[in-house]
Amino acid sequence: MCELLGMSANVPTDIRFSFAGLVRRGGATGPHRDGWGIAFYDGRAARSFHDPQPSAHSDIARFIGAHPIKSCTVIAHIRQANRGRVALANTHPFSRELWGRSGLSPTTANYAE
């Protein structure tokens, strides 16, 4: 089963400490070595990073962990595949299009106004 890290805060909050723990579980201290992803709001923009590599060995995860992510809404995921191949297309969190706009959730369309 995969693992998720989510945060919803009323003020932008740094998630580096919690993200570092999740990253270690992705192939170092845990079995979740089949890809990872993180998505968060940066002001009005939605940012999303994905990698099919184990998060514990990912240059992208190291980059994210070295920079302060301050956001009110963050979701991160480490994958242990039980269906589907290990590939970038199977990493989460997925983004989607809603009402002609790309985003992370139904509220994204309201953010862009």
The set of catalytic residues is 2
Phi, psi of 55, rounded to the nearest 5 degrees? -60, -35
Q: Are 91 and 35 in contact (CB under 8 A)?
A: yes
Which residues of 1-113 form beta strands (DSSP E)?
Answer: 3-14, 36-42, 45-51, 70-78, 96-98, 101-103
Q: Is 2 exposed, middle or buried (0-12, 13-18, 19+ CB in 10 A)?
A: middle
